Structure 1
């Protein structure tokens, strides 16, 4: 259970927050409440809560000062600030003090839940980072390894002995697409690390290997400046592949003189690794990233626009532009931000084209654009983006295929639509044919084949159905109904009605009114 403390100078607010949520459902235990900052601080010392929900303006210590004071004794405690004020200065200072959120009163139920869940996530992240730091401590047995690790993580230390050995230093990071691959190692961790050092040791390199949470970090002295370092890296990759049964992704830093730049090397290797993971490429050098095109892909934007503007453009052949786009991103080694921008540009062009050419709202077929954008940004590699793009486009094309009309189908659809709005008027075959710019004979033939009845039979059925509805549901005179459904002669209307229904309009009305009275009585 996560321990929560609530602080506010209004008791009604505290009572509301305590009772508004079934906190146990969210694995939260309220360990105390306080009406002012001083009392809150004393409670915090006693209960050591994981999360504190505190008002910003209170007697004694205000909410912001309370955060600052508590951070000195419980740095892991996560704060949520609540206030009746929305001043920018308060929010800014709350952010500076690393409050997880700044809520303004009145607070909605969902807002409370979402913010507490966010606070829990932050607390868990802090604990995970602490656990990671605990794992790092195991390397203290080997002082040299600890020195290298500390230097890599940015801690300024001094070791003349190691500095002499590491006249030139390279860092690389190795991992897989799966974030949990390190937990599936079959070998003992330390034995595995020693085995991975062999390619470097046998070539005379000093090497240190660290098991981090998501990847392996390798630091080695690259003093000789020859091809052996590449051979060592390839052999390392082969050993790792044999162990994990998958091709590893490796990101390589630039080579720098001495250990003073090891932290920089580490950051470069991490960035190169993530680009390699994104591009699905085994080896990615930071040197290559520095040489990559710094433009956002303006030439590719022009290619996409030109593709959609071609007179012979075929939406069903769009797989080609997807392949061209992703090949471009890989070849130019574009960052995820840049390549996702181009992919969203492609999707946006598809939206606009389908809207223009098919008069369809693509958002009603797929999702709204902001949802599409959010989904795209969650993808971790170009391979995932390819599958996602093809899936979206396939869904759209399937919809177009399933709802595609022939010319004749469209003609009959439009004629029916016209008759629906005008059946109560005097309609002739010649008039309708002229309206749709076709011959009366062609219209008569196509309509009969597609609908199964002649156009006039179709009109009569519409008129009869409407007259039956009016007879059942209104008090209009039969002569008025006759006019409303398009008949000028009541006697002729009676004949047509009796022929199709089997009884006169008057008898039909009487019969159905009696049934309605029976139904009303039964109810």
Structure 2
């Protein structure tokens, strides 16, 4: 191996010291260009170490107390999608290992560990990391656009500002100075999907689709990919692929269906040139995609490069859109209904033909629907269902009435949901569950599910409201119960451990001493002595 190659860091996670020792000595780490950044005995410690050491590869036992391997991966991958997980599993955990692969693990191997197999796996992992690095260097300028300026760029060009990135002069000579075109990818029936998914499942599915799109982009010559709204991604392609736009779109739809079993539609823009044209081609690709809602069929929709039909002169109600977004964001139902009346007046004043009026309304509805999505107020709403209803209306007033009714229902449901999601009541519910189940092998994932929150949201909210981390509170409950048992019974110390959730009495003694400053035996003796003196 070349001396100039980058050395990647590996974290080892296993609660069996013998496995950690054997991994350290049996794998030719240096020869592979890898170094061991640290080792952890459980998922909680691994979280802290990963924060401190930023490894590129994690080799972890799949089964661990409190935070198991899969929960650890679910917590970390959304924040660090390039992290590669290799899981070690027992023969009885084969289905569990397959779940890990489905959720984004790089690979897994069965116990007893075949060190040659692991070495080969690490060689492949290293090759993948090298490819990622090379790709990052090749597409540096567009990647930087994606990371540093995406939010600013999209918000600016959605507002229609002509040069959203003029302060980033260094991008002028990027790949976008050559001809390119844009594809907007949108999951079909997104509302019905998110109604079925938990918040954690939604996060994982969107992450999985993004992974598929990133791999697909590399293999099919795309310049870059940006997630836009939830359930929607933007891809940029070099103009040289313009003659095969339809085939590209069809391949993309087919591959997403093949790898994720989900259906999507794609809207593709004309070919353009220059970064300042992003603001022009996004609406074109998005409008092509809106034909999905006119046609009622999924598929690939290409913006026709026909002479201007005068649509450019139609004034889009941008101020009205922003006011409606604000009314949804603040759950101001009265204001929202008044603004829909204003929208009706606007369309009448423009004297728009029915087809053009319908296009303006659909654009506005899609934007407002996404606002509900971003606020997670969309459990029962369906964009496809609403657009279908709108198409069936014969008059503008009927269309506005349907809009008012559906958006009113969605907002009222959102208000009820917001009340249900009051932070303190959610945390109280979680604490009660922990207090009732502290003696079991309790995982953070299980309690987050009870609270109906993602793991990361649950961790943040639990700490804010209770002052404890999840593990601190579980440990607190267990220690209080252990003290009660030691004070009020003659149960032997090694028998106390499983009663309060610890299968290993030695580990229980360590935790107890850390919490109280005394071993369980010393604590009991002191309690007896004080009682005798009393």
* TM-score of the superposed pair, with normalisation by structure 1: 0.30
Greater relative contact order (Cα 8 A, min sep 6): structure 1 or 2?
2
Larger Rg belongs to: 1
